[in-house]
Copies of this chain bind each other. A is one copy, B any other.
């Protein structure tokens, strides 16, 4: 499948993405999925998360603001997703900086996520490398996290995506850099979190996790470039970015520099 074909398939199939995510970005995440053509849905309740994970096309587990109840729902969702062969994405928000989620992420990372998406500090912390992250911000360059990403990919059979000025997508076999100018996304909360959800939708719509992840990062970054050109500050950028997720032609992915390392 080509990169544009992944995005076309996403729009055509409108995959249902079950998001267990944080309260800060839930709205932006749902709107990003809707804009891109996917169908978001959320519940954080044990007793619902399991059944829902079985009917969804993909599941996102984002550790941004866990509650005790949401963590129990995540356990249930992951187990059900694995039983049903539903792909699930792990976004280890602020892992390394905050203790409860760090222990939790270290446990669930072994439960076969299809994709792990985070910033450099989060990926390094999750792999057990020394990182210097501060809350949700990365203090480490993407290049410094590629070895950690490779380790996670080999250990858990997952694709690992590391977000930064250029994004790295890493598997046990390959490393690809996706070059877009997404700097404005760092001025909007949930810029990375919604990318994790969008990648989940692309995985559901595509044929292999690696290609879908590259397609999601390339399209997302391209939409950010388009939105940045049409906005003055972070408020107008956020609205333009949602528009761009709906309006950017998937064929524009041909203009994104994809670098095989």
Interface residues of A (CB under 8 A from B): 16, 18, 22-28, 30-31, 34-35, 39-45, 47-48, 51-52, 55-56, 64-69, 94, 97-101, 134-137, 186-190, 231-236, 238-247
Contacts and interface: CB of A to CB of B under 8 A. Distances in A.
Copy total for this chain = 3
A72 to B, nearest CB: 10
A65 B42 contact: yes
Contact of A45 (B47, B67, B97, B231): B67
Given A34-B189, A52-B135, A99-B47, A243 B233 contact: yes
B68 A187 contact: no
B31 A234 contact: yes
Given A43-B98, A134-B39, A135-B39, A241 B235 contact: yes
Which one of A43, A66, A247 has the highest number of Cβ atoms from chain B below 10 Å of its Cβ? A43
Contact of A236 (B186, B233, B239): B239
A190 to B, nearest CB: 7
9 contacts: A34-B188, A35-B187, A43-B101, A45-B100, A48-B98, A67-B67, A235-B242, A238-B242, A239-B239
B35 A233 contact: yes
B236 A31 contact: no
A236 to B, nearest CB: 5
A243 B234 contact: yes
Contacts of A39: 134-137
A27 B235 contact: no
A242 B247 contact: no
Contacts of A43: 65-66, 94, 98, 101
